[in-house]
A and B are shown apart, each in its own frame.
Chain A
Amino acid sequence: MSPITRGFRRREPAGDDSRLPPGQHLVAGFPVLSAGPTPHTPLEDWTFTLDGEIDEARRWSWAELRELPAEPVHCDIHCVTSWSKLDTEWEGVSLDTMLEGIETEAAYVTAWCDGGYTTNLPIEDVTDGRAWLAFGYDGRPLEPEHGGPVRLLVPHLYLWKSAKWVRGITLRPDDEPGFWESLGYHQRGDPWQEQRYWGD
Chain B
Amino acid sequence: MDETMLDGNAAAGDLQQLFAVEVTQAIGVCDGCGNSGPLAEARTFALGPGLTLRCPACEAVLARLVRLPGRTLVELRGLRRLEIVPPS
Tell me whether A and B are bound partners.
yes
Chain B interface residues (CB < 8 Å from chain A):
2, 4-5, 43, 45, 47-50, 52, 54, 59, 61, 64, 66, 68-69, 73, 75
Say whether A97 faces chain B, with CB atoms less than 8 Å apart: no
Q: Is the CB of A185 within 8 A of B66?
A: yes
Give B48's nearest chain A residue, CB to CB.
A33
Task: Tell me the complex Cα distance, A180–B50, Å.
Answer: 8
Task: Tell me the complex Cα distance, A160–B48, Å.
Answer: 9
Which residues does chain B contribute within 8 Å of A180, judged by CB atoms? 48-50, 66
Task: Tell me the complex Cα distance, A182–B64, Å.
Answer: 11
Q: Is the CB of A183 within 8 A of B43?
A: no
CB-contacts of A156-195 with B (<8 A):
160, 180, 182-185
What are some 18 contacts across the A-B interface (CB < 8 A)? A32-B47, A33-B49, A34-B4, A36-B45, A37-B5, A37-B45, A37-B59, A80-B49, A116-B61, A180-B50, A180-B66, A182-B75, A183-B50, A183-B66, A184-B68, A184-B73, A185-B49, A185-B66
Give per-residue flags for A1-44: 1 if the beta carbon is below 8 A from chain B beta carbons, else 0: 00000000000000000000000000000011111111000000
Which residues does chain B contribute within 8 Å of A185, judged by CB atoms? 49, 66
- If over half of A's interface residues share one DSSP class (helix, strand or loop), that class is named, otherwise mixed; here it is loop
Q: Is the CB of A32 within 8 A of B66?
A: no
Which residues does chain B contribute within 8 Å of A182, judged by CB atoms? 75
Task: Tell me the complex Cα distance, A114–B25, Å.
Answer: 30
Task: Tell me the complex Cα distance, A180–B64, Å.
Answer: 10
Q: Is the CB of A183 within 8 A of B73?
A: yes
Give B1's nearest chain A residue, CB to CB.
A37
CB-contacts of A80-101 with B (<8 A):
80-81
Most central of A81, A184, A185, A197 by chain B CB within 10 Å: A184
Which residues does chain A contribute within 8 Å of B61, judged by CB atoms? 35-36, 116
Please give me the 10 A-B residue pairs with the lowest Cβ-Cβ distance, nearest first.
A184-B66, A35-B52, A33-B48, A184-B73, A33-B47, A183-B66, A197-B68, A35-B48, A184-B68, A183-B73
**Which of A31, A33, A36, A80 sits near B59, CB closer than 8 Å?**
A36
Q: Is the CB of B4 within 8 A of A183?
A: no
> A50 to nearest B CB, angstroms?
26
Most central of A32, A115, A183 by chain B CB within 10 Å: A183
Task: Tell me the complex Cα distance, A80–B48, Å.
Answer: 9
Give A159's nearest chain B residue, CB to CB.
B49
Which residues does chain A contribute within 8 Å of B54, judged by CB atoms? 36-37
Task: Tell me the complex Cα distance, A58–B48, Å.
Answer: 32
Task: Tell me the complex Cα distance, A103–B54, Å.
Answer: 39
**Which of B5, B49, B64, B68 sits near A160, CB closer than 8 Å?**
B49
> A159 to nearest B CB, angstroms?
9
* 10 further contact pairs, Cβ within 8 A, besides A37-B43, A115-B59: A31-B47, A35-B50, A37-B45, A80-B49, A160-B48, A180-B66, A183-B75, A185-B49, A197-B68, A198-B68
